[in-house]
Structure 1
Amino acid sequence: MRTVTLVSRDADMMARLRRLLNGSFEVVVLESVRDAVDPGRDNLADALLVDLVSTRIDPAELGMVQTRPGRPVLVGLVSADEPAASGSERCDLVVSSALPDVALRATIEQAVRVHRLELEVDHLRRDRVRAEAAASRSVTAPGSVTTPAAVWTVLREMGKLLAAHFDLDRVIGFFLDAIVELVRPARTALLLVDEDRRYHVRGQRGLDPQFVALLHLEADDGLPAWFRREGRLAVRQELAREADWRDALRELQALGGEVAVPLWVQAKLVGILTLGPRVAGQPYGSEDLERLFTLAGQVAMAVEDISLFSTVRAQHAFIEQVLAHLQNGAITIDASGHVTRVNRRAEELL
């Protein structure tokens, strides 16, 4: 059975979690984070919920959790009055303890789903390493080498993980590390669009950090313009033959890339992935590029979903702040007539 560990001193929170998760999760309640990572415990939980409202937490203890292999997803529960409580910066996800029951349960289920997918991807990675040691690459065309199927199994499962995650920096780091490990480009970068429709490097491997910090691409020129017109991957050799796309070529070369892959969400270009030459000098096969294009679509959806999630979370935090400081009593109910939120003034009046 899936396991959730709760670190809390609030009896009401303990009872609420047991009621919410009854039958679907095993709920283990502990008094400290240190107990949760005790070496004597055989298995870590899928998710570790830390009640930052009722429990004094040492951030260093949360750091201990982050170093454990197969660690749980860290979910911090905070109050509307103190959304940046000590220790929240160490959590993978921070939510208000005043979330409605349905939203809190959905958050926990998502955290557990992420944990299980991370373990599955890690297991597939280890299997891939063993399989690769025993098998050679299969040549599909002169001068073109296709990545073994085991690699793409890992990447496919990784796509599911990215779609389930809610931490953009972690998604980017996980994605780039996996690309480097499995496809082995000498360098790679992921650019995402900002509110001004400029593309900035949000993560990279093998490039000069000072250089990429100053680099941005305009939405109507260069590589972004190529993707909007052509709708397909940009390959350095092809761009070099096109006099109209010299700006796109210069941008790709500045990023040390041989190939650039668009990240589309419907008709919106949310990002660009660039891949440098492979370490071993082999060109990318057509099957590799097709699969990278498909994977980029999964990453694009993850980026968009995380952006929407962050927007909703910010809106919820704002509402919580307003209700917490409202001089009048306020009670909200859902479509079924159940009370979902009661502010402090309403509690006093009732």
Structure 2
Amino acid sequence: MRVDLFDFDLPPERIALRPVRPRDAARMLVAAGDAPLRDAHVRDLPALLRAGDVLVFNDTRVIPAQLEGTRGQARIGATLHKRLDLRRWQAFVRNAKRLKEGDEIAFPAGVTATAEARHEDGSITLAFHGEEPVEVLLERAGRMPLPPYIAGKRATDEADRSDYQTMFAARDGAVAAPTASLHFTPDLIAALDAAGIGRETLTLHVGAGTFLPVKAEDTAEHKMHAEWGRIDADTAQRLNAARAAGGRIIAAGTTALRLLESAATPDGTIAPFEGDTAIFITPGYRFRAIDGLMTNFHLPKSTLFMLVSALMGLERMQAVYAHAIGEGYRFYSYGDSSLLLP
């Protein structure tokens, strides 16, 4: 499909630079089938789902994966996006032309790394020196990797260390937050429990590739970056049992959705999964694992707007986004939410 079909005009003032407080006070636009759109709030979620439904969350934890350093007199910026092994990460590098294989980069707090292989996508492997885990080094030298549409408007600060982390964060490895889950609070989880709505977790370490624009003119020419994920056997079994009992599987975010669909067999059974996925969902895709999605509002011409258009239909999502823009909904990572029930 032509990528320009997924374009729309977004006023810059609709981009949220900070989250609302409390988190579950964010607005939520509900699109259920062909029914009229409904303006609600995230805290209304227990009344919008049914007993027996299951929300699936991503328990990845965002690491401070943005680094600023030097090679000689040249300033080098690096955003880690995929772990290769204990000491080596692929990174998107600013001023990458100033680096050659074997160069050493000095980051703050005594953290150093050597530039190794250059990859087809332009990223570079960085091998970190020393014995401490790379995550420990990043806590000293790195900062939270806010999306460029926020970081380009204000500096990252200490508040982002908690604001850009979900309450489910348990497993280090993401360089972008699974932002749909940023809206959840202990009070909301208690209300969901009381309403008989189940919850499960999986792990998908979100990479910086999620922020990259689609540069191709046709979706068939776009290549997704691979991300590592895991669904254990017990979780898969419980999800299949819930669905067999009539419950709906509602992905809390596109990252959870993409991993569930990667793990699904042709008959819709969710199988255990561990490994990389580069699934790219566009209109025409037949969903197998999920029955609904809670997600924030996404960039024009992004792979994520293509995904929600695949779920609901392009014309329906164009109407959803036109309503959201007209009614003042806040967009992107720190913005409001939508509940999409095809």
Query: Normalising by structure 2, what TM-score?
Result: 0.25
Greater relative contact order structure (CA < 8 Å, 6+ sep): 2
The structure richer in strand per residue is 2
The structure richer in helix per residue is 1
Q: Please identify the structure whose Cα radius of gyration is greater.
A: 1
